[in-house]
A and B are shown apart, each in its own frame.
Chain A
Amino acid sequence: MDQHTEHNSQESPDQPHLLAQRDGIKRPPLVLNKRTMGWISSYVSTIVESKTPLWWYISIAITSPIALLTPLLICYLVSTGVGVWGNNSPVAWAWDITNFVFWIGIGHAGTLISAILFLTRQKWRTSINRAAEAMTLFAVVCAGIYPLFHVGRVWKVYFLAPVPNSNAIWQNFRSPLLWDVFAVSTYFTVSILFWYTGLIPDLATIRDRCTTKIKKFFYGILALGWRGGNRQWRHYEMAYLLLAGLSTPLVLSVHSVVSFDFATSVIPGWHATIFPPYFVAGAIFGGFAMVLTIMLPARAIYPQLHDMITPMHIDKMCKVILLTGSIVGYAYLMELFMAWYGANPYERAAFWYRAFGPYWWAYWSMMFCNVISPQVFWFPWCRKNIFVVFIICMFVNAGMWFERFVIIATTLARDFLPSSWGMFHPTWVDIFTFIGTFGIFTTLFLLFVRFLPMICMFEVKAVLPEANPHYGEDH
């Protein structure tokens, strides 16, 4: 608890001139309507405890069949061959890796909110981190499907694991694809640990409120015997801090490593040093848009969440989107500049074909969605209007998919030798496998909403004014 006290003491300025400033622009409270700690516990827990609402049944009845598409089509893919997708020569990677990078990018916001904002003491993170982290995990699950099953012989995929074998062949540690395997699996493991660690105190709260034995047993197991004692809290906070420290470099490394798949290649349009920062910025950009995309409907369904996920939260996330969107836009322009300034005809051609080649529509969709549309967030009105925010977030989601498609498919479609140039056309299997991953994502999220506390109760309680030891004092 001590870090909170310390934190709060920083916030109570003792210099007179700052005091005046503080009185002038008062920060909005993190929880509105003066909700008490008890209210928070009971409201968040009620979502899990109450009778399953009808909308939930309807939603899951829609999403789960969609989710089923992906495993069914993966079975078709594995039994028949990668050819059921539209990949070809020269476009040997297409929607598979596009979707992988798309989903893994989305998976960045959760850990960023949980870890980096935790380390930088951004208290507003508390009400959104749980859901954002869950979203991260589900996005990584969706992402992981693609690199696993896009290979020609998935039954030999254990060759990627550095285990001793009778062939005495090691992996190729020069290959960014191998780093990818390590980076993504590490990220998934740490994210799931981080998420679960964060869940333990809240699981204990739910366990304590349970009315049926079965529920009590189930949540009891998950709560790992949490009693909320002082020593437990001390260990817990340390563990959480360590995991946050561990996750922070991962947020930066995973998408950097993913970008190495392209940056370390020789293909014009891929071979660029700008990729790692640009990919990370893009991932945060896309991730935040996806957090908003799912938080806004959740907030609409549970109106009391408005007290915890306040307009200020949305405003801050919009600002992050605006910042990262502008970084991404800068990167796009810098790519074009480098292509021109580098004077390499292959590089120049690659970017020319991106903008004016056969896939021009993908490029300009990307430009509009990612660079132009988030600029409306300069205006506070737009950041406050839920509908505008939602629409822009949808644009960003689409734009980030187009970005990956542009980078992967349009680059491969036209590389060095014009004789090999060829177009990629998705097949129905491509399309429905991708749609299926949205089904998986939403189904998992619906299950999460139904069975686990969507808001990190104990952390929200810790940022209430009452949690401040100096609460009520006037000095």
Chain B
Amino acid sequence: MKRIFQHPARDVQPTLWRNSQERENSAIFNESLQREFPAGADRAGEKHETQGLSRRDFLRLTGASAALAGIGLSACRRPEAYLVPFTRSAEWTIPGKFLYYATTMPAPAGAIPLIVTTSDGRPTKIEGNPLHPMSNGSTDAFAQASLLDLYNPYRSKAITLDGKEATSSKLDSYLAHLREGALSNGGEGMAIVVERIGSPTRDRLRDALLKEFPKITWVEYEPLSTHFFEQACDTALGEGVRPIYHFKKADVIVALDADFLNPSVAGFGLANGFYARRNPDQQMNRLYAVENHYSLTGGLADHRFRLQARQLGAFTAAMSLLVGTKTNNASLKLLATTWIHNNPTIELSSESQKWVSAVVEDLLANQGKSLVLAGGEQSIGIQLMVLGMNAALGNFGTTLEVAATGIKPTSSLKDLAEAIEAGSIKKLLLFQVNPVYTASSEKNWTDLIASVPETLHLSLCEEETSKVSRWHVPAAHYLEAWGDVRSLDGTLCAVQPMILPLWNGYSELEILHALLGEPRAEGPALIRETFNSFSQDHSDGTWNNYLHQGFLSDSAWPVSQPSWNDPAVQRLIATLKPQQPFSKDDFECVFLPSSSVYDGRYSGNAWLQETPDFVTKLTWDNALLMSPADAKRLHLSDGDFVRLSDGQHSIDIAILTLPGHANGSVSASLGYGRKNISHIVSNVGFNVYPLRTAASPRYTSSVSIKPLTGKKYVFAQTQEHHNMEGRDLVREGTIERYQEDPKFAQTMGMDGHIPPNIGLYTRPPFTAQEQWGMSVDLNTCIGCNACLLACQSENNVPVVGKDQVRRGRDMAWIRIDRWFASPDGSDKNPEMLPQAIMCQHCDNAPCETVCPVNATVHSEDGLNLMAYNRCIGTRYCANNCPWKVRRFNFFDYNLRPLDQLYYGPLAPKGMADSLKMSKNPNVTVRMRGVMEKCTFCLQRIEEAKIGRLVQAGASDSHKTPIAPFKTACQQACPSESIVFGNIADAKSTVSQRKESPRDYTMLKYLNARPRVTYLARIKNPNASMPDADKVGLANGTVHHEAAGEHADVGPTHFDQHGVVSPQASTSVVSPQIMENSK
């Protein structure tokens, strides 16, 4: 289109003119001005050019050829992608900024209060809620990974009836039909099975339902139940009364097969206060653990005793008898003697007896300042004896108080099974439980459910139980639905949805509400009704505050002094049955909650499947764990198959030897070996549920093991070598040694002999105001995997699959090395030492010098950066990294199906849409062929820096303090072992940690100067224990010479020499050197 130039109005009589026509202001001239070119100008000279090419034709041909060339080349263009802005802004959102909401994860062991990060309406990260009294802002591994459960592409997406898709209105009419049926007969023949998550709203709806239909059978079922513990508490302390432990006040703690430090098993927040007492600079507590296999608690224990699970009763009875006798507690004595009388055949070894007397001596010396704990699945006799010991030791009211929870026992699954067999159940509703898989040993639940005419199963994914139920209803994830739940201390916590249900899932509250005949509740109406019963103030402000902080303050159960109900205990003692007898030659089989899939409920979660087990470092599998001595005796080695049989059921399972495992005992994790679910769930591990009984859920006291010949099983372990080989990687000492020579860890091994360091190069200056560093306290690191999952979620770390893990290609940016160490080198009962290893961000990074393309470089604030765009993937940096923390994308793990990695371009490409939603938008999703590693959560650092600029405004931003923030691993750490911060600031926690005499650097002699340092592990052994001379000697016997010889030249030569090195003598002084020269 031709442009029209609007000329300004012209003077009638111009003073300057181009020609006479203009001067005359003639019409012809004025018209010509309106056109850029006079009429026919384009045709001018056409005649003249007819022989050749006209200008127009030339342009036409040029245009056409360019267009043709464009067609040919258009395939070379990058695919177009669009960023589409909101046409109307959503409330609160600023694109690119996160929003944080409080919610709570319902979990069988205790709810976990959370703060969820949402990005453009998608929850992308889960953190602990630091405001909550039971939380220090941390989470466990399962809470971190629950994000992936939300986006799991294998989630159920449709309601099905008899295998065919059904509409939601059809389901609604079915629920109405159920109600009609119940109205006619008071709910007879209807049973509802739910999982155990103390939700007040669900309890309210249950009460309403049972009031209207009293004949409904209500069952609360957990495969890993604390049934015996609760029964013991109900008897000894009062109905619904549960103990609250005060670990902060406990000087001596005895854990009898109780993994109380594992938050996922023992309950989130249970061990609060424990870690504060592991500080060797204050009065340190002492932890004894008795267990058959290594647990997290056993790993941290000062004294750990290997004992078969079936002997724990005898051990507890011996302890109780001694405590009862010494404290003159008749009730406890009676308990112990009854137990011993009931089980006359079980004898304790002399080693056990020595242990018992030494431990009891320590307990008696710390009366009122001790705690004895037993695992929730132990028998009722053991539970009663443990409670009795706490009572006799005067711990009631000091370290152990109680709360009246009002929790009432419900019918058990066994009762339900009997009712179904009797044919009295016609309608069965199963919410988020999977008895076909988890309760498979005693009853055939496949047949039981099939025999019920009307069955409905609500679950996130299609499970074994869904397959045999008539109705399958997709469940809403807790991040999709309203709810509430009580945390371990009873505080009312809100479960807020972050997103609308992705696949129209239903919550169990909605179904219960529908059974009550109410119209579908809008939003949080159901929850608010419950809330109103808790809070005096029903105003919107209080409600909003509840949602805002995620819990209702002061709603915890009131804590009171426990009282021992002796008559009830006496009555129970009379009914105690003897333990199942066993032959000493038989093996026992212990059933463990899996560190990755718990009881199997998380087996669809690829992040968790790929997370190595705390102890075995096994991914994507479980195994039959046995002691090396037993394996040798049976001529077995890792990966050999055995047939495990209890006489009725038998399973074939591959074995894995585990140092520190009790002899005559094998253990296996639950939750594996599921078949035909999704490819993540199927073909991983072995199902050991068939050997487990409800009567003795922790162990089966007598199994036979028959070695099978044939192919070996290849496990996918992330760590295959468990011996430190005399290298002082984890440094450990006793409290005594620490007090004698606080800096013992800094002169250990080679570090006492490092020669003066002379550098040829001047290090680039660290000009930034903040210098980032990290400290990991090995005294509190239990190796619980929370940091691993937090990192995976925060940094979009891909999952690589079992085959790739077997090939040594796992991508985790942070790993937990787990060492077994004993001073004499024997592996009978070695110590277990976990150590979190992430990129050490060395000042003299070996990786940086070798990268040919400058893809890994250093920042002014001391970070070792990785530029993915620049990386060509020579992998030289990975070779040269002494810590081996660099991870290479051998395949397109994000975009190709993990079972088709080797098909290359023939495999489908792309990521499930739901998985795309789970990614942290601030972190690049890496492609194949590039190296990656821990960045110290660079995106969080930058966010904080941007925040500072915003806050500073026009003022000097450098003087504005940076907003406090944590790295993902630090935030998730339940024991506050990982601390990150500015080491240039002497007041920061990380600086203070690095000032500790326990602070040491790994592989110091390399002069890489890592920014990550470790605090040595200190053990607090009891000198009168039989194994006291073996505790705290992971690095071998004490090397007195090193400490003595070099005492005159200061704590660490290296630092001394560092000051005189050419690097330091220039104007550039690293913060670390500044610290050291102080």
Q: Least Cβ distance of A227 to chain B in Å? A: 46
Q: Least Cβ distance of B815 to chain A in Å? A: 8
Chain B 814-858, CB-CB to A under 8 Å as 1, else 0, gives 010111000000000000000001000000001011111110000
Contact of B809 among A83, A93, A151, A176 (CB under 8 A): A83
Q: Least Cβ distance of B778 to chain A in Å? A: 14
Interface size on A, residues (CB 8 A): 53
Q: A153-161, A293-301, A450-458: which one contacts chain B? A: A153-161
Chain B residues positioned under 8 Å from A90 (CB to CB) = 808, 878-879, 884
Give the CA-CA distance A155 to B53 in the complex, in Å: 44
Cβ of B870 and Cβ of A177 under 8 Å apart? no
Q: Least Cβ distance of A286 to chain B in Å? A: 23
Chain A residues positioned under 8 Å from B582 (CB to CB) = none
Assuming the A-B contacts A92-B888, A93-B879, A417-B817, are A79 and B905 also in contact, with contact meaning beta carbons closer than 8 angstroms in the complex?
yes
Chain A 244-269, CB-CB to B under 8 Å as 1, else 0, gives 00000000000000000100111100
Give the CA-CA distance A156 to B810 in the complex, in Å: 25
Give the CA-CA distance A266 to B871 in the complex, in Å: 21
Q: B88-96, B134-142, B724-732: which one contacts chain A? A: B724-732
Looking across the interface, which residue of chain A has its beta carbon closest to that of B928?
Answer: A81
Secondary structure at the A interface, as helix, strand, loop or mixed, is loop
Assuming the A-B contacts A156-B872, A349-B725, A415-B884, are A80 and B891 also in contact, with contact meaning beta carbons closer than 8 angstroms in the complex?
yes
Q: Least Cβ distance of A1 to chain B in Å? A: 46
8 A-B contact pairs sorted by A residue (CB < 8 Å)? A80-B902, A86-B807, A92-B876, A152-B889, A172-B852, A345-B749, A418-B722, A419-B817
Cβ of B850 and Cβ of A153 under 8 Å apart? no
Answer whether residue B443 sits at the interface, using C-beta atoms and an 8 A cutoff: no
Give the CA-CA distance A416 to B750 in the complex, in Å: 13
Give the CA-CA distance A82 to B871 in the complex, in Å: 14
Answer whether residue B887 sits at the interface, using C-beta atoms and an 8 A cutoff: yes
Cβ of B879 and Cβ of A418 under 8 Å apart? no
Contact of A81 among B749, B884, B929, B1003 (CB under 8 A): B929
Q: Least Cβ distance of A347 to chain B in Å? A: 11
Answer whether residue A178 sits at the interface, using C-beta atoms and an 8 A cutoff: yes
Assuming the A-B contacts A83-B809, A152-B872, A177-B876, are A170 and B854 also in contact, with contact meaning beta carbons closer than 8 angstroms in the complex?
yes
Cβ of B853 and Cβ of A160 under 8 Å apart? yes
Contact of B724 among A89, A346, A418 (CB under 8 A): A418
Answer whether residue B351 sits at the interface, using C-beta atoms and an 8 A cutoff: no
Contact of B851 among A172, A266, A421 (CB under 8 A): A172
Cβ of B879 and Cβ of A267 under 8 Å apart? yes
Most buried by B among A82, A170, A264: A82
Answer whether residue A76 sits at the interface, using C-beta atoms and an 8 A cutoff: yes
Chain A residues positioned under 8 Å from B905 (CB to CB) = 79-80
Chain B residues positioned under 8 Å from A327 (CB to CB) = none
Chain B residues positioned under 8 Å from A152 (CB to CB) = 871-875, 888-890, 928-931
Chain B residues positioned under 8 Å from A177 (CB to CB) = 850-852, 874, 876
Chain B residues positioned under 8 Å from A324 (CB to CB) = none
Interface residues of A in 401-446 (CB under 8 A from B): 412, 415-422
Cβ of A172 and Cβ of B888 under 8 Å apart? no
Give the CA-CA distance A89 to B808 in the complex, in Å: 6
Contact of A422 among B729, B808, B815, B931 (CB under 8 A): B808
Q: Least Cβ distance of B59 to chain A in Å? A: 32
Chain A 65-91, CB-CB to B under 8 Å as 1, else 0, gives 000000000001001111110111111
Cβ of B875 and Cβ of A87 under 8 Å apart? yes
Assuming the A-B contacts A415-B882, A422-B720, are A153 and B727 also in contact, with contact meaning beta carbons closer than 8 angstroms in the complex?
no
Cβ of B929 and Cβ of A92 under 8 Å apart? no
Looking across the interface, which residue of chain B has its beta carbon closest to that of A408?
Answer: B879
Answer whether residue A169 sits at the interface, using C-beta atoms and an 8 A cutoff: yes
Cβ of B852 and Cβ of A421 under 8 Å apart? no
Q: Least Cβ distance of B263 to chain A in Å? A: 24
Q: Least Cβ distance of B18 to chain A in Å? A: 48
Q: Least Cβ distance of A410 to chain B in Å? A: 13
Answer whether residue A174 sits at the interface, using C-beta atoms and an 8 A cutoff: yes
Interface residues of A in 124-182 (CB under 8 A from B): 150-154, 156-157, 159-160, 167, 169-172, 174-178, 181
Cβ of B850 and Cβ of A264 under 8 Å apart? yes
Q: Least Cβ distance of B186 to chain A in Å? A: 62
Give the CA-CA distance A170 to B855 in the complex, in Å: 10
Chain A residues positioned under 8 Å from B931 (CB to CB) = 152
Chain A residues positioned under 8 Å from B851 (CB to CB) = 172, 175, 177
Interface residues of B in 883-936 (CB under 8 A from A): 883-884, 886-892, 901-905, 927-931
Closest 3 CB pairs of A and B: A152-B873, A152-B929, A80-B904
Chain B residues positioned under 8 Å from A264 (CB to CB) = 849-850
Looking across the interface, which residue of chain A has its beta carbon closest to that of B892?
Answer: A81
Most buried by A among B817, B879, B880, B883: B879
Cβ of A417 and Cβ of B884 under 8 Å apart? yes
Cβ of A83 and Cβ of B891 under 8 Å apart? yes
Contact of B904 among A76, A87, A176 (CB under 8 A): A76
Q: Least Cβ distance of A176 to chain B in Å? A: 7
Interface residues of A in 69-126 (CB under 8 A from B): 76, 79-84, 86-93
Assuming the A-B contacts A81-B929, A87-B875, are A171 and B852 also in contact, with contact meaning beta carbons closer than 8 angstroms in the complex?
yes
Answer whether residue B1006 sits at the interface, using C-beta atoms and an 8 A cutoff: yes
Give the CA-CA distance A283 to B248 in the complex, in Å: 67
Chain B residues positioned under 8 Å from A416 (CB to CB) = 727, 882-884, 1003
Chain B residues positioned under 8 Å from A157 (CB to CB) = 872
Cβ of A175 and Cβ of B880 under 8 Å apart? no
Give the CA-CA distance A88 to B903 in the complex, in Å: 19
Cβ of B904 and Cβ of A159 under 8 Å apart? no
Answer whether residue B719 sits at the interface, using C-beta atoms and an 8 A cutoff: yes
Assuming the A-B contacts A82-B929, A88-B808, are A151 and B890 also in contact, with contact meaning beta carbons closer than 8 angstroms in the complex?
no
Most buried by B among A156, A160, A344: A156
Cβ of B808 and Cβ of A150 under 8 Å apart? no
Cβ of A172 and Cβ of B853 under 8 Å apart? yes
Answer whether residue B398 sits at the interface, using C-beta atoms and an 8 A cutoff: no
Interface residues of B in 703-757 (CB under 8 A from A): 719-727, 729, 749-750
Looking across the interface, which residue of chain A has its beta carbon closest to that of B835?
Answer: A419
Chain B 989-1012, CB-CB to A under 8 Å as 1, else 0, gives 000000000000001011010000
Contact of B850 among A83, A86, A169, A265 (CB under 8 A): A265
Chain A residues positioned under 8 Å from B879 (CB to CB) = 90, 92-93, 265, 267, 412
Chain B residues positioned under 8 Å from A419 (CB to CB) = 719, 721, 815, 817-819, 837
Q: What 10 additional pairs, Cβ within 8 angstroms, besides A81-B929, A175-B849?
A: A76-B904, A80-B901, A81-B904, A89-B808, A152-B889, A152-B929, A266-B1008, A349-B725, A416-B884, A418-B722
Give the CA-CA distance A415 to B726 in the complex, in Å: 13
Q: Least Cβ distance of A359 to chain B in Å? A: 15
Chain A residues positioned under 8 Å from B1003 (CB to CB) = 416
Answer whether residue B859 sits at the interface, using C-beta atoms and an 8 A cutoff: no
Cβ of B872 and Cβ of A160 under 8 Å apart? yes
Cβ of B928 and Cβ of A171 under 8 Å apart? no
Answer whether residue B650 sits at the interface, using C-beta atoms and an 8 A cutoff: no
Q: Least Cβ distance of B901 to chain A in Å? A: 6
Q: Least Cβ distance of B722 to chain A in Å? A: 8
Q: Least Cβ distance of A189 to chain B in Å? A: 19
Cβ of B850 and Cβ of A81 under 8 Å apart? no
Q: Least Cβ distance of A132 to chain B in Å? A: 31
Give the CA-CA distance A177 to B854 in the complex, in Å: 11
Cβ of A417 and Cβ of B850 under 8 Å apart? no
Chain A residues positioned under 8 Å from B891 (CB to CB) = 80-81, 83
Cβ of A172 and Cβ of B849 under 8 Å apart? yes
Looking across the interface, which residue of chain A has its beta carbon closest to that of B806?
Answer: A88
Chain A residues positioned under 8 Å from B874 (CB to CB) = 150-152, 177
Cβ of B871 and Cβ of A345 under 8 Å apart? no
Chain A residues positioned under 8 Å from B809 (CB to CB) = 83, 88-89
Cβ of A88 and Cβ of B725 under 8 Å apart? no
Cβ of B873 and Cβ of A151 under 8 Å apart? yes
Answer whether residue B804 sits at the interface, using C-beta atoms and an 8 A cutoff: yes
Cβ of B837 and Cβ of A345 under 8 Å apart? no
Looking across the interface, which residue of chain B has its beta carbon closest to that of A181?
Answer: B852
Cβ of B854 and Cβ of A172 under 8 Å apart? yes
Cβ of B884 and Cβ of A175 under 8 Å apart? no
